[in-house]
Amino acid sequence: MYAMHADKHRELDENSSADSSEELYERLNLKVDKGQEPLRIDKFLTQRIEHASRNKIQKALEAGMVLVNNKPVAPNYRIRPLDEIVLYSDKEAPGEEIIPEELPLNIQYEDDDVMIINKPPGLVVHPASGNYSGTLINGVAWYLLQKNKALTEQNLPRWGLVHRIDKNTTGLMVLAKSEPAVRSLAKQFFDHSVKRQYIALVWGDLVEDTGTVVAHVGRHQRFRKLFDAYPDGEHGKEAITHYKVLERFGYVTLVQCILETGRTHQIRVHMQHIGHPLFNDETYGGDKIVKGTVFSKYRQFVDNCFEACPRHALHAKTIGFVHPTTGKEMLFESELPEDMRSVIEKWRSYTSATRARP
């Protein structure tokens, strides 16, 4: 069967196994020394990269994921002094085989290179420990087989994920359907040129209308299933989130978040870091009253809001990129899902009624 990638962080539970747009490719930059003797690039990279097998390096070269002086090269290319090498590599370990399953998919756009899917809440993106079936990727595999009767489970084309969003985050994802598309999109994500706009409902009333959170994001040093922000940059990886207030409801605020980087749980961790966790985010403290009085009517209202949106209130509204083949700029937008629209309207009505009281 066609093998995809499983979740690298197998110790994470299914509710926290993926980021709000976590990037799945890394880039390694190397510069050949002046005195380097001519050597096949596959052998050179195998020697230089820890734990890299020659077979994996050759596959990366054949897929065009290795660039020398900004151009793809064959495995038999002989490196020269001062060559600049860029290697794009997925961060995932070899994973479970995919069993195609018929699942409803909200496909907003598709061509030979890319597919745009609007993911609903509660859908895991791809198989991992505890989630071997019923994922978005299981559904996509089935969809491709139905669309092209010449395909079988054994010869599904190599394509895949270049980013992912969390099980309980809704919104747009782009999938690459060809190796050139994987290479192009991975580069765009790494270069931070992909446009990603999220809508979030957060606790509290933000002081400023706009702001930027700059803090490394990495695993929590005590609780390994969680992630944390490290402002001094000693742990984790660089993470930058820009936010803008869209509407204020006193106790909660509707914000737009634009990602400059894509780290695990970045938006959720950054908003918690500045004291405004996402509404109903049980992992990062948003599933309880964070700000406001706790008299009985208010508590009941908040409980009703939790029921209206029984997940962290985060939606991937926009994704934009340069098409891998045509070079055309593509931009896709999606409407807020019903649960977020419902809870926003509840807070809007509550705030209006509260302000109207004498």
Same domain assignment for residues 231 and 314: yes
User: Letter for the amino acid at 308?
Assistant: A
CA pair distance 263, 237, nearest whole angstrom: 8
Residue 9 in any domain: the answer is yes
- What phi, psi does 300 have (nearest 5°)? -65, -40
Would you say residue 195 has pLDDT above 70?
A: yes
pLDDT at 221: 64
CA pair distance 164, 304, nearest whole angstrom: 30
pLDDT, mean of residues 204-217: 92
Would you say residue 228 has pLDDT above 80?
A: no
Residue 140 in any domain: the answer is yes
Length of the chain: 358
Q: How confident is the model at residue 4 (pLDDT cuts 50, 70, 90)?
A: very low
| pLDDT tens track for 230-282 | 787 677 788 899 999 999 999 999 999 999 887 878 999 999 999 999 999 99
Same domain assignment for residues 86 and 131: no
Between 309 and 30, whose confidence is greater? 309
pLDDT at 96: 56
pLDDT, mean of residues 216-236: 72
Helix (H, G, I), strand (E, B) or coil at 341: helix
pLDDT at 261: 85
Residue 182 in any domain: the answer is no
- Can you spell out the DSSP letters for 30-77? EE--TTPPPEEHHHHHHHHSTT--HHHHHHHHHTT-EEETTEE--TTP
pTM: 0.78
Same domain assignment for residues 138 and 272: no
Q: Is 166 known to be catalytic? A: yes
pLDDT at 155: 60
Same domain assignment for residues 252 and 342: yes
Taking CB atoms within 8 Å and a gap of at least 24, the contacts of 32-37 are 32/79, 32/80, 32/81, 32/82, 32/83, 32/84, 32/85, 33/81, 34/81, 34/82, 35/81, 36/79, 36/80, 36/81
Residue 41 in any domain: the answer is yes
Q: What is the average pLDDT value for the chain, to the nearest integer?
A: 83
Residues with Cβ within 8 Å of residue 159, at least 6 apart in sequence: 175, 176, 177, 178, 179, 181, 182
Residue 177 in any domain: the answer is no
Helix (H, G, I), strand (E, B) or coil at 8: coil
- Among 83-97, 165-179, 195-209, 240-254, which is the least confidently predicted range? 83-97
Q: How confident is the model at residue 345 (pLDDT cuts 50, 70, 90)?
A: very high
What's the CATH number where 338 sits?
A: 3.30.2350.10
Residue 326 in any domain: the answer is yes
Q: Which two tokens stand for residue 340?
A: 């977020």
Same domain assignment for residues 38 and 140: no
Same domain assignment for residues 267 and 128: no
pLDDT, mean of residues 104-120: 95
| pLDDT tens track for 22-66 | 555 666 788 888 888 889 998 888 888 877 778 878 877 877 778
Residues with Cβ within 8 Å of residue 92, at least 6 apart in sequence: 5, 6, 7, 8, 24
Would you say residue 227 has pLDDT above 80?
A: no
Asked whether the beta carbons of 228 and 218 are under 8 A apart, the reply is yes
Q: Which two tokens stand for residue 344?
A: 């926003």
- Among 1-10, 162-171, 192-201, 239-248, which is the least confidently predicted range? 1-10
Same domain assignment for residues 277 and 140: no
Same domain assignment for residues 148 and 202: no
Please compute Rg for the chain using Cα positions: 22
| C-beta neighbour count of 49 within 10 angstroms | 15
What's the CATH number where 37 sits?
A: 3.10.290.10
Same domain assignment for residues 155 and 218: no
pLDDT at 154: 63
Same domain assignment for residues 200 and 280: yes
Between 153 and 104, whose confidence is greater? 104
Residue 184 in any domain: the answer is no
pLDDT, mean of residues 291-308: 84
| C-beta neighbour count of 32 within 10 angstroms | 18
Q: What domain range is 67 assigned to?
A: 25-90
Same domain assignment for residues 220 and 329: yes
Asked whether the beta carbons of 322 and 353 are under 8 A apart, the reply is no
Residue tagged active-site, from 166, 228, 281, 339:
166
Q: Max Cα separation, the chain?
A: 83
Q: How confident is the model at residue 358 (pLDDT cuts 50, 70, 90)?
A: low
Same domain assignment for residues 140 and 210: no
Q: What angle do CA 243, 244, 245 make, to 5 degrees?
A: 130
Give the β-pairing of 84-90 and 25-31: antiparallel
Would you say residue 283 has pLDDT above 80?
A: yes
Instruction: Say what percent of the chain tops pLDDT 90.
Output: 42
How many structural domains compose the chain?
A: 3
Residue 174 in any domain: the answer is no
Would you say residue 93 has pLDDT above 50?
A: no
List residues bridging with 318 in a β-sheet.
197, 333
